[in-house]
Amino acid sequence: MPAARVEQLTDEPPPVPAVDDLPVRDVLDRVPALVALVHGPDHRIAYVNDAYTAAFGVPPLGQRAREALPELAELGLFPLLDQVQRSHKPRTLKSRKAPDGRSYTFTCAPVGDGAGGGDGGVLVFATDVTDHAEAAERLRASERGQRETAVTLQRSLLPQKLEEPDDLRIAATYHPGGTEAAVGGDWYDVITLGGGRTALVIGDVMGRGVRAAAVMGQLRTAVRAYARLDLPPHEILQLLDGLAAEIDANQIATCVYAIHDPNEGRLLYASAGHLPILVRDEKGTVHRADEPTGPPLGTGGWVHASGSIALAPGSTAVLYTDGLVERRNQDLDEGIEALERALAGARGTPQVICDRLVRSAGVTPEHDDDVAVLVLQHPARTGPEHDLFRNAALELLGGVEAAPRARAFASGVLTSWRFPTELHDLGVLAASELVANSLQHGTPPMRLRLRRTDRRLIIEVTDGDDHLPRRRRAEPGDESGRGIAIVATIASGWGSRHTPGGGKAVWCEFALPRP
């Protein structure tokens, strides 16, 4: 073997110097972090390294740090130094911006033999984290910008002003999640269907940010379009279910669609995975709407069903999203029970009740989820206001005498309600045409119903046939086909819908002159 090779194998590596042999001051002077050493109970300056003097200048050694190191006082570091000296345990203060404009993380560690005696020193070690802090701030600014965009979009897609049904008083509120929470897709709506009926909607897209708000806007628009078909609630949800899957298969939504008919005194509703409607009756007892509840929209493969809950005069109903009742450390049913208790004691206008329910749930600007609440009251009217809301109905038995009986009945009712002559005559004509249409094309049982509110006169005829009429142009030689056209011409609005049990209702309404 060559001699050089033997020498390589037998030479030992150079010894590693002991830590005690390292020149500590020279090491600290070369450290890029800021280092300062203070000593004693009044924190007199014992040492600062070159990086510290480059950032804040050369302080006079031996002086009190409170006067000689004003940057530490501005950062509020001296209480931490006192704590470290008393406890003889290290402490860290994360990402504070110093007077030199840069951000540092300060670690304060005890040195010397002053454990419990207060005579030891404290080593201040400051790591420059400016780049990290600026990147974090840029990220937060970007997130704030996205959140503001989502909140703006969300609010713009919600109804700017709620429709005001004749028979209900309604208020709603929306609270976006706090600054650390991405905005979700909560929404609500109130849709007047005509004929005195009102649709009420609340929903929640299970997503966050601009995308969830955009999906919410599409669903809300679709609900308003489908509502014009005047279908039962479960059929509306069936249509929405297919649409939600087409909009975005990765995002699902919960929704409640309810219809209030003042003639029935009930809410007919269907739920797609949403929370139950709560109703406080005129006696103050709170009821929770029962099943049926189907899966959320967008899941497909489910046939929704409608249910109903009483909403008599004097009752208050609440529709809400999960942000009002769901908490991380609490069972969901406990949150709903707490809301029931709050509703039982809440009195006042719908807006007052909205605000009280939100406060009772502890919702603050820092809340971690969106909250939407819709409150509706069916007021119990008395005195002069009661006289403005009237109902009258006549069972139509068929035969040649049915039409004149209906005209006479309508004329008598409208006269007793003291309508002006022109409106009286238009109401009698509309009732006559609707009854004639039902007698010719419908089947028993048949009923004529007249209803007045403080704003309109509503005339409705129901029968047992499910074929809905449509407006068409009658030719000169046609013997029929003009009744609906006449009604559509003289009335403020008209429509038709299927009724439970396979029949239909055809209605029209006239706006009452303002006093």
CA angle 446, 447, 453 (to 5 degrees): 155
SS3 140: helix
Average pLDDT over residues 233-257: 90
Q: Are 152 and 145 in contact (CB under 8 A)?
A: no
CA–CA separation, 57 and 114 (whole Å): 29
- Identify whether the C-beta of residue 498 lies closer than 8 Å to the C-beta of residue 438: no
- 456 pLDDT above the threshold of 60: yes
Instruction: Give residue 271's pLDDT.
Output: 95
In percent, how much of the chain has pLDDT > 90? 47
Quick one: angle between helices 421-441 and 402-416, nearest 10? 150
* pLDDT for residue 12 is more than 60: yes
User: pLDDT confidence of 515, banded at 50, 70, 90?
Assistant: low
Residue 290 has pLDDT above 80, yes or no: yes
Q: What's the confidence (pLDDT) of residue 6?
A: 47
What per-residue confidence (pLDDT) applies to 10? 53
pLDDT in tens, 151-194: 777 777 788 889 999 999 999 999 887 655 556 688 999 999 98
Provide the CA 21 distance to its chain's centre, in angstroms. Answer: 67
Pick left, alpha or beta for residue 35 (phi over 0 → left; psi -120 to 50 → alpha; otherwise beta).
beta
- Checking if the pLDDT of 116 tops 50, the result is no
**211: its two tokens:** 């995308």
Cα separation of 188 and 450, whole Å? 31
Residue 54 has pLDDT above 70, yes or no: yes
Q: Which residue has the higher pLDDT, 153 or 97?
A: 97
User: Which pLDDT tens digit goes with each residue over 490-500?
Assistant: 999 999 999 98
Comparing 506 with 28, which gets the higher pLDDT? 506
Q: In degrees, to the nearest 5, what angle opens at C-alpha 157 toward C-alphas 152 and 158?
A: 100
pLDDT over 70 (residue 7): no
The rounded mean pLDDT for the chain is: 86
Strand, coil or helix: 398: coil
Can you give the pLDDT at residue 115? 46
Domains, the chain, ranges and CATH?
19-128 (3.30.450.20), 142-378 (3.60.40.10), 385-511 (3.30.565.10)
Instruction: Supply the angle between the helices 130-157 and 209-227 in degrees, to the nearest 10.
Output: 0
**Residue (of 218, 158, 165) closest to 191 by Cα position:** 165
| pLDDT greater at residue 438 or residue 24 | 438
Q: How many CB atoms lie within 10 A of CB 508?
A: 27
